[in-house]
Amino acid sequence: MAAVTYSLLNVTAGKGRILATARSYGGSFDSFEQIFGETGVKYDIVENPDDPANFEKLVKEDTKVIYIESITNPNATILDIQAIADIAHKHGIPLIVDNTVATPYLLNPFDFGADIVVYSATKGLTGHGNVIAGAIVETNRFNWKNGKFPQFDGQPHFLVSQQGVPRSFYDVFPDTPFTGRIRAIHLNYLGGAISPFNSYLVLLGIETLSERISKSVKSAEKIVEFLEGREEVAWVNHAHAKNSKYRALAAKYFPKGAGAILSFGLKANDRATLIKFLEAVKVFSFQANIGDAKSLIINPSTTTHIELPPEAQKLADIHTDTIRLSIGLEDVNDLIADLTQAFEAVR
Ligand SMILES: *Cc1c(COP(=O)(O)O)cnc(C)c1O
């Protein structure tokens, strides 16, 4: 969350508006109101982000950034990153992409016009649910000197040279003005600095990123096919699902697979059946994390997304009966057997 909030604090610097979607991670969505409201920054929510034109309709004179996620949680939707980046750049503002669910193994958002990429390394990047960490990555392709972002080049700062000359962030960090300013301002005054041991765990996790993500994505696709074949299942959300409207975007952005998060609903969508199903699984763990080595199951509306106001849950297409799976590294046949016995338990 520090990676998300520091990036947005840095780009807004106490003024203007954030343009985002209701599909954002629950904590990020809440921060628009709870943190940014207090700093005087406002936000706009694109109601149907599947059509990139809807972003452009909401870009205002003082909009400072478009903020999206490359694969959303829990419904695994995909946005047209390149089209949204083009709109941002046409209006002289950067695109920040939260690439947590995809991980750099499945997608490099810089290839499609993103200016800043943020990660919760707590998830797939580290991959074992053993650390809370984040990352901010910049390209330095964006022109911060276009007049909308004086925090980078306009204001001389206390980073004076040895000759006593005040220098801007651009002067001091010509290659990394965005993250340079975050290190000097937000990390310095707000904390959120990672410990050496946690850094070690993140770096260790990254060493196996390709092996873990390729396996979990393949398993997720098999589980999508399995769920689509079950008569108890009303719907399945994942770009690999037969009727998914994200298949074309997935082919463009995610040739290696569209992530290991998926959601589904039971036809018997009463609370008692839902709880019985969640309690019946034995291999899946009931945990709010994602991107773990262990496969996880949860009901987002009563847990991860409980803080979202009902209208935001509706916009994010999160229903009381939504079940989210995060697929880990177990043998996929064990996962399918586990879900099979849970279906039988609620029959
Ligand atoms: C979990 C998550 C976050 C916040 O990360 P923490 O490591 O829990 O602070 C931000 N964005 C996305 C997409 C996430 O899944």
Residue pLDDT, tens place only, 218-256: 999 999 999 999 999 999 999 999 999 999 999 999 999
Class of domain 2-199: alpha beta
What DSSP letter does each residue of 257-311 carry, written as one string? -S-SEEEEEESS--HHHHHHHHHH-SSSEE-S--S-SS-EEE-GGGTTTTTS-HH
For residue range 187-201, list pLDDT tens digits in order: 999 999 999 999 999
| Strands of the sheet with 323-326, listed across from one edge | 233-237, 261-266, 323-326, 296-298, 285-286
- Position in ligand 1 atom list of the atom nearest CA 121: 7
Q: Among 122, 132, 324, say which to mutate for ligand 1: greatest number of ligand atoms within 8 Å of CB.
A: 122
As given in the structure block, the two tokens for residue 94 are 């950067």
Task: Pick the atom of ligand 1 nearest to 1's CA.
Answer: 9
Measured CA to CA, the distance from residue 72 to residue 239 in angstroms comes to 11
Give the mean model confidence (pLDDT) for residues 257-275. Answer: 95
Contact indicator for 322, 265 with CB cutoff of 8 Å = yes
Q: What are phi and psi of 285, to 5 degrees?
A: -100, 145
What's the confidence (pLDDT) of residue 70? 98
> Ligand 1 centre from 120 Cα, in Å?
5
Residue among 1, 5, 24 to mutate when testing ligand 1 (max atoms within 8 A of CB): 1
The whole-angstrom separation of Cα 72 and Cα 78 is 7
Strands 116-120 and 95-98: parallel
User: pTM for the full model?
Assistant: 0.96
For ligand 1, the distance from its centroid to the CA atom of residue 68, given in whole angstroms, is: 13
Q: What is the per-residue pLDDT across 130-154, written as a single tens digit (0 to 9) for each? A: 999 999 999 989 999 999 999 998 7
**CATH number, span 209-346:** 3.90.1150.10
Q: What is the DSSP letter of 182?
A: I
Confidence of residue 71 (pLDDT cuts 50, 70, 90): very high
Tally of CA atoms within 13 A in the half-sphere of 84 that contains its CB: 31
Structure tokens at 149: 């972002």
**Alpha carbon distance 172, 74 (integer Å):** 41
DSSP state of 157: B
What residue has token string 């410990």? 195
What gap in Å lies between CA 283 and CA 329, rounded to an integer? 11
Q: Is the pLDDT of residue 169 over 70?
A: yes
Ligand 1: residue whose CA is nearest its atom 4:
1
- Tell how far the Cα of 72 is from the centroid of ligand 1, in angstroms: 11
What is the C-alpha to C-alpha distance for residues 284 and 237, in angstroms, rounded to an integer? 18
Nearest protein CA to atom 9 of ligand 1, as residue: 1
24, 45, 138, 232, 310 from 315: Cα distances, Å: 11, 10, 30, 26, 9
Q: How far is the CA of 25 from the centre of ligand 1 (A)?
A: 7
Helix residue spans in 208-262 (DSSP H) = 209-228, 247-253
Q: For the residues of 78-135, what is the DSSP string, one character each? A: B--HHHHHHHHHHTT--EEEE-TTTHHHH--GGGGT-SEEEEETTTTTT-SS----EE
Q: CB of 337 within 8 A of CB of 282?
A: no
Rounded distance between C-alpha atoms, residue 321 and residue 219, angstroms: 23
- Asked if residue 246 lies in contact with residue 202, where contact means CB atoms within 8 angstroms, the answer is no
CA angle at 108 for the pair 35 and 209, rounded to the nearest 5°: 95
- What are the tens digits of pLDDT across the range 290-340? 999 999 999 998 888 888 888 888 888 888 899 999 999 999 999 999 999
273-279 average pLDDT score = 96
Q: How far apart (Å, rounded) are the C-alpha atoms in residues 254 and 338?
A: 28
Q: Which residues line ligand 1 (CB under 6 A)?
A: 1, 4, 25, 27-28, 69, 73, 98, 100-101, 120, 122-123, 132, 134, 290
User: For position 34, what pLDDT does the model report?
Assistant: 92
Residue with tokens 């850094």: 199
Q: Is omega for the bond preceding 74 within 30 degrees of 0, making it cis?
A: yes
- Domain edges within the chain: 2-199, 209-346
- Closest residue by Cα to atom 1, ligand 1, is 120
Separation CA 316–CA 73 (nearest Å)? 9
